Amino acid sequence: MALNDWVQYFIEGFPVGCVYALVAIGLVLTYKTSGVFNLAFGAQAFLSAAVMYELKQRGWPTWLCFVVSVFIVAPLFGLLLDRALFRYMRNSSWVVKLVSSLGLFVALPEIIKALLTGVKPQFGPPSIASLIGMKDLAGSDGVFQIGDYVVSADRMTIVVVTLLSVVLLGVLFRYTALGLQMRAIVESFRMVELAGVDSERVSMAAWMLSSFLAGLAGVLIAPDLGSIDSIPFTLLLVAAVAAAAFGRLTSIPFALLGAAILGVGQRAIIGLSYEYKWPQNIQTGVRPALPFVALFLLLIFLPAFKGRRDVTDPLSGVDPPPPAMAHEYKDRSLAKTSRIAFYVFIAAFLLLVMFAMSDVWVFRFTDAFTLAIAFLSITVFTGLGGQVSLGQAAFAGIGGYTTANLAAENHWPVLLALALGVVFAVIVGALLAVPGLRLGGIFLTLATLAFALMAQNIVFTNASVAGGPEGLDVPRPSFLNGSGFLGPDQRYFLFVFLCFAVVGFLVIFVRGGTTGRYFAALRGSETAAASIGINGTRQRILLFALSAGIAGLAGGLFAMNSSRIDFQTQEYQALFGAAWVVLVVSLGSRTVDGAVNAAISFVLFQWLLSDYFGMEASIALIGFGFGAITYARHPEGIVEFRTRVSILAQRKAKLLKARAAELAVHGPLPRGYLPTRNVTLPAIAGPLVLLLAVIVRRIAGSGEGAPVPLIVICLAPSVLFALVYIVMTNRRLVAMGGFTWSWSVLAAGGVLGVAAGWFLTAVNVRTPDFGSPEVAIDAPVWVGIIVGLICGFAIAAFFMVPVSAEAVARQRDFRTHPVTWRAGRGPTLWIVLGTFFSYWASKGWVPPFLWPLYLLGLVAAIVFVQWIGEVQGGVNELVMGEVDVAPGVPLAEDALPEELPELAELAPAGGGD
Amino acid sequence: MAVVDPTVAASQPAPATALLDARGITKRFAGITALHTVDLYVEPGEFVGLIGPNGAGKTTFFNCLLGILRPEEGTVMFAGRDVTGLPVYQRARMGFGRTFQRLELFSGMSVRDHFIVADRAHRDEGRLWKDLLNRSKPTKDERTRADAMLDLLRLGDEADKPAEMLSLGRGRLVELGRALMTRPTLLLLDEPSSGLDVRETAAFSARLAKVQQEHEFAVLLVEHDVDMVQSLVSRLYVLDFGTLIASGPTEDVFNDAAVRKAYLGSTE
Amino acid sequence: MSATDASAVPTGPVSGTPLLELRDVHAGYGPFRSLFGISIVVQPNAVVALLGANGSGKTTVVRVASGLIKPTQGHVLFEGTDITGKRPYKLAQLGIVHAPEGRSVFASLTVEENLVLTFREVFGRRGLKPKLEQAYELFPRMGERRRQLAGTLSGGEQRMLSLARVLVRGPKLLITDELSLGLAPVIIDEVYETLGTIRDSGCALMIVEQHVHQALTLADDVVVLAKGQVVLSGTKEELGDISDRLLPAVHGEL
């Protein structure tokens, strides 16, 4: 009997294994050829399945749906990924590639859901069995009879298609030029280029092929899954990774074998659990978790992954080195100013939260700072340790459930429970570090993902852990309750903020201290670190324990924040934890302010999108997923990048000022030199006055909002000033040798702007939401024309003036251009956004309250003024000569102050200029 | 192991005073024997060289001494203790210092920090609680020692530059300084002249010789540059195809016929 | 830089057009600049030795010449046409072959696959077989090991393999970077003999070397770099006795 059962398991499990194998092969293909471990692979499978489903719903014939979704959409998507994204990452480190694909992993399913399938799962995906004749081959009841066993046509199709694909791939790799080139490119794409082969063509082919495999797998497995829903497809990835790991990420036959074992094993668990009457949660938990468990065990125990490093490119010296940290560019006075600004900012912020904000906002900021603590655990793990963990949510869960159980079930004091939760997380972290020691890079990341999924599916689903469906109630510390000077929510916020501040300082201290230096040494070179006596094992355990402890603390606080948690609590879910990493790393994983910015922007964006503008909250994930993609350009994080840019601009301005002072002694300054401040202050004055007036009106009780005359009176001078500035600057640039035709461009911008303004306010159009045609923006036509004139002219200038400056710089043999067309992107985006809001507002949308709009307006004003500052900085450099503030050539008096230089970097970014 | 010449025996028994004594080191990779019962010793304060053609097994032997690889057979004794099974970092704390053929600097770290980290790691200084209380800034003593090393190697101008910005020659000096900060009793140098030009090699040798005289540590030098070996080394081992083919005083080894054939070829 | 070598027969399409010309090239890595206005000329069938201390920018020059990095300023001309900023594979197809420093074979491919990778692109499927045989004739050792993974070859054999690829392909310009690095003296001599053969087959060479004497055994013209600029250049004869001007220049004493 037992043998019969196993044959049955095999017949039912093997086809699933085949799909795993297809995904695994595609995964290995792109990993080997481009070094990108494409975590979004499951999402790509989902894409093809969703396209196929949608087309079928529209009544297309099945073969056409199949061809379009698998042979057209999937390869094109692979092409897109390569062309638009991963091509630019070839020189990047594995972290960059991983985080970018993690961004896709988070964003792609949301995009597909938003565009194609909707949020809810769709049922009854089409099958391709009849296409390849399997339905005809099968018996009359649509199944294959093999002896006593029955195989459905769908499953037979999977097996046949997979085996065929594997054979074809084998031939491709073994016997064709393309296959040979793909194998060679693994080692070094630059060496392939030197051999005369277009490496971009090869990697493009690899991406298209692997994406095709993903699509094929998605379409094949869809009937078996029974629904089109993002999560099972996304997790298909984990099973595939486990299978690929079985083949040590190189061998396709072994990957196939591993996939078959997984598929059959999953089926066998169902059978065995019935036969031996296993407990319920093993039955429901282990089967879906088997791939995670298998992946975890494989990574830990297969010797192939031990201390494995990616093959080093012998030509990697071609890559530019990473930039130094922003605060290293600061000089003494700048560091001092920003430190003072930092304390003032913190004090103002706390006062604002304490006394001026409603309880809802206090709650939101409490949430944000709890999240910031969780993010600091990523700052430690990734920023200090140089590794990427997707398991932070699991550690948060460990901390949270421990706290909740001790406090709610056993009535311990909640702070003691919290402390124990942290201790427990630390212990689990240290224990995980021991097997994790052997792994490096991407493999450690995968193991942490498997760990988080295991914890979520096996441990947290336990009623004794998470209190079952009704969950657990978590009290807040009792000393925060009761009446007093501040409300309990405010006091709780202070408590959380204090926790955050303590953890933040600890992170800074650790980074500046011995541990941080040892981590830096290990990041730089593990062998060299060992050669001077650094115990890598101990450091690695410390890293895990420290970061797990911080995550555990955040988990406990999450539990207190929401006062009730259950097994579905979002903050403890593995995929949510993956989104955290994307956020932190793209905003800046090396600094505390990166974590704070990530947390606050996450909370604010979710609120803005869902409560304020009434969109899906998951849209935020799309935004942040794409944010991760910018990481490729700025691996140090966006916050860090912006800080560096602004610090460098300030230093340049300073050097130019010093040069000007020198020149002033001898005679007149060159025409065109103006301290940047002289142009930015008048431009920002108007918006600031407006903001002040609005606040005064609010306090005086004359209601929210600003009457139109006030807006015009405040803004008109600033706008006028900016327009005059643009004209003057362009004239000067033309005189210096810039493009004379820039005038025509500006004029054309103005004309187009007038046309657009007239069109939007005068012409009846059919807008998406409204049946009868009407004007897009409900405003007098003359207003539309004037605003359009200004905006069109400005947009043309945003790009044209920097381009003109670039041309002048080129004529003068500048090595770096002081300002480029890129400066125009930001302000243009804000004009487009503003137009969109106007359209929306004139269609009857009334914001629940106005001040977020003022905030957005202020940000827009800052962006415009930044543009003016950048351009004037560029012009200054053009007339005064090139200024070099390259790293590593610090000016003598610029040495940083010895005491606590790190405090300076806590200051909010972009506050400068 | 053929004894080629009465004066140039392939291996001699180690004296009892030997600082490092590796005996019968054998290492195989997937069936290929990379090292075949290699014996080598270094006395305290002695300057010993190890040469051989490419693929002779020099680097493998080096890695066996340091604990990066585990030899299948043989023992490594250091200062009278059997260290065969010890991990790399423990050997480092016992007095092994090393440099690398391909630079292994801590990227992003300044030269001064390299020295301070090495100094601390050697003393096994630094506990997490000290970091958490912000009490682990570099002390005055540490700065003094690091500055002394910067002066010694004339790296003062580069002290605050990140390591990856240095030229190869300077990088090698940083590696040397980093190894010296751990106060080694035995310094292992892996092809320090590789990638350096004649002048830089000479400068490196001069500095090395000076430091070695001051601090009186022993050196084991793996090197291709014949001039450098001749100017520095008092005793020499020659490895070919995983076996020692000669050892003895430098002069004698270089005059040995088998060595000339296997290694020096047509030069001279 | 160099005057046309009297012994060199110009074989370029236009008589007198240099094979490769770098005109006022600036280049660097990210924020770090390593070349400041370099001009170098390689005549057809000439051998140019590029000398200089470490960090003088030699490797950057050859990387610019083979397209691995793009100059931030200046132009690169090959046979009179501007090739500035073209991708390395295009330049390789034009006949500029760069044997980079260190390991330059595909370790995970067999010896034969290493050769096929190059030859397929140049000679097509048809021309593959005779060219392979030609390579094995020239380097019998490679023929013996054609099924062996290139990574298991010794350092000298790996250099031989990369030279075999170059030699059979018949480039117009071969750029070698530190060929002698990490090789035993015997093997260095062997490698330089092969370079001589390549030169005799009508290919121009640009040799980057640390070891001045070694480079001068082959070179017609010499260019010395220091701190990213050309400090000395001319034919070997013009420069005369090497210890006179050349060595001090290389060692930064000019």
pLDDT for res C14: 46
Please give the Cα distance from A493 to A365 (Å, whole number).
8
Distance of CA A122 to the CA centre of its chain: 27
- State whether residue A534 sits within 8 Å of chain B by CB: yes
DSSP codes, A811-843: HTT-SS-SS-GGGGHHHHHHHHHHHHHHHHHHT
Residue A146 confidence (pLDDT) above 60: yes
Neighbouring CB atoms inside 10 A of A278's CB total 14
| B109 close to A324: Cβ distance less than 8 angstroms | no
CA-CA distance, A275 to C219, in Å (whole number)? Answer: 82
CA angle C241, C246, C248 (to 5 degrees): 120
Please enumerate residues of A whose Cβ is less than 8 A from a Cβ of C.
Answer: 177, 180-181, 183-184, 186-188, 190-200, 311, 314-315, 317-321, 323, 813, 815, 886-888
pLDDT tens readout for residues A707-729: 888 888 889 999 999 999 999 99
- In angstroms, the CA C54 to CA A322 distance is 22
Kindly list the strands in the beta sheet with B96-98, ordered across the sheet, starting from the edge strand earlier in the chain: B96-98, B186-190, B218-222, B47-51, B235-240, B243-249
CB C70 within 8 A of CB A148: no
* Number of other residues whose CB lies within 10 A of the CB of residue A172: 15
If interface means Cβ-Cβ distance under 8 Å, which residues of chain C face chain B? 32, 53-55, 154-156, 178, 181-187, 189, 210-212, 250-252
pLDDT for residue C8: 39
Selecting from C54, C155, C212 the residue whose C-beta is nearest the C-beta of B54 gives: C155
A601 sits in which H/E element: helix A592-607
DSSP β-bridge partners for residue B97: B187
Tokens representing C245? Answer: 């001007």
Interface subset of B 90-129, CB within 8 angstroms of A: 90, 92-93, 96-98, 100, 104-109, 113, 116-118, 120-122, 124-128
Give the chain B residue nearest A524 (alpha carbons).
B106
List CB contacts (< 8 A) between A180 and chain C. Answer: 109, 113, 116-117, 120
CB contact under 8 A, B194 and C251: no
Tokens of B89: 């970092």
Least confident of A788-797, B231-240, C158-167: C158-167
C31 to chain B: closest CA residue:
B165
CA C144 to CA A682: how far, in whole Å? 79
Q: Which two tokens stand for residue C160?
A: 């031989």
DSSP letters, A759-792, are HHHHSEE--TT-SS-EESS-S-HHHHHHHHHHHH
Please name the residue that has the structure tokens 């391709």.
A128
Asked if A866 and A913 touch (Cβ cutoff 8 Å), the reply is yes
Closest residue, chain C, to A193 (C-alpha): C89
Q: Residues near A694 by Cβ (< 8 Å), separated by ≥ 6?
A: A705, A706, A851, A854
A291-300, A312-321, A400-409: least confidently modelled range: A312-321
What is the residue whose two structure tokens read 């397929």?
C120
Question: Residue C42 forms beta bridges with which residues?
Answer: C20
Cα of first residue to Cα of last residue in chain A, in angstroms, is 78
Q: Which long-range contacts (CB under 8 A, 24 or more apart) does C111-114 make?
A: C111/C142, C111/C145, C111/C146, C111/C147, C111/C148, C111/C149, C111/C150, C111/C153, C111/C161, C112/C146, C112/C147, C113/A180, C113/A183, C113/A184, C114/C150, C114/C161, C114/C165
A841 or B77: which carries more pLDDT confidence? B77
Inter-chain contact A513–B131, Cβ cutoff 8 Å? yes
Closest CA relative to residue A869, chosen from A734, A749, A747, A722: A722
Region A463-473: what's the mean pLDDT?
A: 80
With beta carbons under 8 A apart, name residues in chain A contacting B137. Answer: 512-513
- Lookup: tokens for A654: 């300073």
Q: Which residues of A touch B117 (CB under 8 A)?
A: 517-518, 520-521, 532, 534
| Other beta carbons within 10 Å of A850 | 15
When scoring A185, A192, A194 by the number of chain C Cβ atoms within 10 A, the one with the most, hence best to mutate, is A194
Classify the C-alpha dihedral A503-A505-A507-A509 as positive or negative.
Answer: negative
Among C54, C189, C246, C247, the residue to mutate for chain B (most B Cβ within 10 A): C54
**Better-scored residue on pLDDT, A222 or A304:** A222
Note the helical H segments in C145-216.
155-169, 185-200, 212-216
pLDDT value of residue A315: 52
Tokens of A590: 């090396």
Contact A560, A369 (CB under 8 A): no
Distance CA A101, CA A628 (A): 8
A485 compared with A540, residue with greater pLDDT: A540
- Residue C38 has φ and ψ, to the nearest 5°, of -100, 135
Contact (CB<8Å) B54/C186:
no
Q: Which residues pair with B239 in a beta bridge?
A: B244
Cβ atoms of residues B238 and B247 within 8 Å: yes
Q: What whole-number distance in Å separates Cα of residue A577 and Cα of residue A392?
A: 6
pLDDT band at A32 (very low <50, low <70, confident <90, very high): confident
Q: Which amino acid is located at C36 in the chain?
A: F
Residue A854, token pair as written in the block: 């003022």
Which of A271 and B115 is assigned the larger pLDDT? B115
Q: How far is CA A441 from CA A104, A518, B84, in A?
A: 19, 18, 29
Give CA–CA dist A51/A814, Å, rounded.
51
- DSSP letters, A679-694, are HHHHHHHHHHHHHHHH
What is the arithmetic mean of pLDDT over A446-467?
84
Contact A650, A913 (CB under 8 A): yes
To the nearest whole number, what is the mean pLDDT of chain B?
Answer: 81
Residues of chain C with Cβ-Cβ distance to B54 below 8 Å are 154-156, 182-184, 187
| Nearest chain A Cα distance for residue B99, angstroms | 8
DSSP state for residue C149 in the 8-state scheme: B
C145 φ/ψ angles, rounded to the nearest 5 degrees = -110, 25
Q: Is the pLDDT of residue A283 over 70?
A: no
B and C: number of Cβ contacts within 8 A: 67
Residue B31 distance to chain A (closest CA, Å) = 18
CB A790 within 8 A of CB A719: yes
Contact at CB, C55 and B55, closer than 8 angstroms: no
The kind and range of the H/E element at A110 are: helix A94-112
The Cα A394–Cα A454 span in angstroms is: 9
* Closest residue by Cα to residue A94 from A250, A242, A312, A325: A312
d(CA C120, CA A179): 12
Sign of CA dihedral B24, B30, B31, B34: negative
Average pLDDT of the segment spanning A210-228: 86
Check residue A651 and give its pLDDT: 78
CA terminus-to-terminus distance, chain B: 27
Query: Positive or negative, the Cα torsion across A402, A408, A410, A412?
Result: positive
Q: Which residue of C has its CA nearest to A199?
A: C89
Asked if residues B26 and B44 have their Cβ atoms less than 8 Å apart, the reply is no
Mean of per-residue pLDDT scores for chain A: 81
Judge: B160–A890 Cβ closer than 8 Å, yes or no: yes
Q: Choose, out of B100, B161, B193, B198, the residue to mutate when testing the contact with C (most C CBs < 10 Å).
A: B198
Predicted TM-score of the model (pTM): 0.80
Helix (H) or strand (E) holding A376: helix A359-378
Name the residue of chain B whose CA is nearest to C227's CA: B167
Tell if the CB–CB gap between A184 and C29 is shorter than 8 Å.
no
* C-alpha distances in Å from residue A834, one per residue of A169, A222, A795, A828, A829: 52, 43, 13, 10, 9
Nearest to B196 among C32, C54, C252 (CB): C54
Within its chain, how far is the Cα of A227 from the centroid? 28
Judge: B89–A533 Cβ closer than 8 Å, yes or no.
yes
Q: What is the DSSP string of B139-159?
A: PHHHHHHHHHHHHHTT-GGGT
Find the mean pLDDT for residues B30-34. Answer: 72
Q: Say which residue, C89 or B264, is predicted with more confidence.
A: C89
Q: How high is the pLDDT of residue A615?
A: 65
Q: How far is C154 from chain B (nearest CA, A)?
A: 6
Give the minimum alpha-carbon distance from B261 to chain A in angstroms, rounded to a whole number: 32
The shortest C-alpha distance from C119 to chain A (Å) reads 9
Residues 6+ apart with CB under 8 A from A3: none
Question: CA-CA distances (angstroms) from residue A414 to A417, B76, C39, C130?
Answer: 5, 56, 74, 81
Residue of A nearest to B181 (CA): A532
Closest by CA to B75, choosing from B21, B156, B30, is B21
Mean pLDDT for the stretch of residues B175-198? 85
pLDDT at A307 over 60: no
To which H or E segment does residue C76 belong?
Answer: strand C73-78
For chain B, how are helix, strand and coil distributed in percent, rounded to 5?
Answer: 40, 25, 35
3-state secondary structure string, A245-259?
A: HHCCCCCHHHHHHHH
Report the range of poorest mean pLDDT among A553-562, B3-12, B182-191: B3-12
Question: Tokens 């700048």 correspond to what residue?
Answer: A334
Dihedral class, residue B233 (left if φ above 0, else alpha if ψ from -120 to 50, else beta): beta
pLDDT per residue rounded down to tens, chain C (254 residues): 444 443 434 344 445 788 999 988 888 776 567 788 889 999 988 899 988 876 678 888 888 888 888 888 888 999 988 888 888 888 888 888 888 766 678 888 888 888 888 888 778 888 888 888 888 888 888 888 888 888 777 777 888 888 888 878 878 899 888 777 767 777 778 788 888 888 888 889 999 887 777 788 888 888 988 878 888 888 877 776 666 677 767 665 54
Which H or E run contains A578?
helix A574-587
Do A263 and A22 meet the contact criterion of CB atoms below 8 Å apart? Answer: no
Residues 6 or more apart whose Cβ sits within 8 Å of residue A561:
A363, A366, A367, A370, A496
